[in-house]
Structure 1
């Protein structure tokens, strides 16, 4: 995202003569494509210092010829352009209705100041046919603890690199199947091509939190499409667990992973499982492996793979809050982490050590240690008798 903002600043400097460095205090997407007759909502992010300042939207190839179409002090300048300012999120949004091809051009998000106004520009292209990049809905809604899915359609024959971004944070590059964390939210995605040869990126935000409300966008090549996600609190009928289960004092969550075995000559996209555990709780994780690795050393490590630090190994005892045991008959080694704290939140890997080659990464997890987990059981291990 730092690269993207730097690139955006360079463009602004080339189009607006004498623009101050403070122009970077306003940011937005850079290029949009919309079908005629449709509408588009554009988010414009600004620095929190300008919460109480007036914002406006203007059109013009260059800043000194920009004509104001909407202003937060005069919201009804035009009947087809609407503007609203959310100074809690420090984003003002502009909606353009019933777009026509002649609406194509350069537009500017701007903040009115006592000195030189702050601004950032974008290009809008209104097409007669299918736009280059679009979504079915710009505004999507989910409930806390649930998920939302967004489908991004790219009409060009050759798709470039997909990006999924949260405005004002950073982006996640999407290559093939993707699974990982974006600003604390577990994001999964996959790509397909439909019968009309449209490239489709499907992104799902999982285990939603109220703070996930905000603007996102998908991007392919130089095109972006903004999407607003609203997270509501679930109603009584939407709750999936009884109220009484939220008061447990000792909680933990486990996930039985789908196993991905990777040899020296194989590559794979690793699917992250998300583990949500309460502070002070414990977690036990099974890691299944192929029978050819029965007599190899297994280990559990913390962090991104290239910088993964050992937390437990089957060949030595380590002074950590993590223990490991290997069941050679069932071909599964088990990792137990106890007395968890928020500092334990991170990526973790089940792995097999290979002496003369790259180690085998079996499964990746993301562990989140929080005050109250989203899903848990009272006991991870239960016992019964035959019959």
Structure 2
């Protein structure tokens, strides 16, 4: 065993591993030295006992392809590099490869570059599904499970399991040769813990010929109910595979096995059985449906349950069910102190979001009020401006008083016409000459509060007598 591990370790050091998923592409560059001329052939080989098992060859700048057109080789004489492309990789392509060119000086085919190609097949399955894998033909092929560095747990040899051994749920793996001498592996009733890396191994050195990465997922359900209420849960199964197998309803406990609460017996008339704790289970073998009913639920009934297959060897999960039972409100309609504390905690957790929302709303209202105030102010200023213009127009339209010749005076009118007529005081002063300009000062005084009769007079100015001096 130590020799095998040491050989695998040295192989990994000498030949770098190229790991690819099935269907991917591998691209390899192989530079060659000056001693290799352009007209010499370059090869892409499988490593067999230290020798070249030719796959493809090329000359000069020619590009050559395999028959299935998945492999191509080309020589770039300018950069002195041979390029190899392998497309649509298959798990059967897993092997050790190298590229080479003839060395005319040493008369040999040196390995320009060597790689170990590992193509794995990725498989996704649900619990209780079946996995079937056919390994490449080869004498002494076995089925192994482990990590990426060695075969740790062979599951079978050349002989197949007996028919009686496959009836147990725990005897889920069958490894046997088909008529073409290829190893066929069948794994039934898959579970999550079956996920891992598997491979077909050949010979005492356990060299990998085909790798499988298996991922198994559980089927799940989630249900919520109220205290003192009831719930009905259904789980489906394959009628062809599990019609005759007993079904069970169990609750998991941390660090313990699943505790069976109810189970079915195919021999019973209706496919039902008596269950404890208000739990009933019914198996409809015609539809392939298991129905579980739980009544008078309590808060402590919350947890993780299984719909499971059951036989003498134990339980295999069909589906995982998560049940949450909430405490019911008291008759008064108010929650108790415990639920109140939960609500307070919930309110505390939401207070930050509530404060943020209120702040945004208040900010929007403030901006709206500010915009409204600005709009009203602009409208009021425009109204005042329009009123002032009208008053100015009214004043300019009224005729002003005209002073009579030979007098001076002033005339003013009240700015507030609505307060009644204003008294006009005319002050006259005689002039010595008619050529001199006349001035009239009109003063407006507020009309008295009481009504008074107004008398109008015509004022005429007479020319003063001329003196002899003139």
**TM-score range relative to shorter protein:** under 0.3
More helix by share: 2
- Of structures 1 and 2, the one scoring higher in RCO (CA 8 A, sep 6+) is 1
Q: Give the structure with the higher percent strand.
A: 1
TM-score (norm 1): 0.25
Which structure has the larger Rg?
A: 2
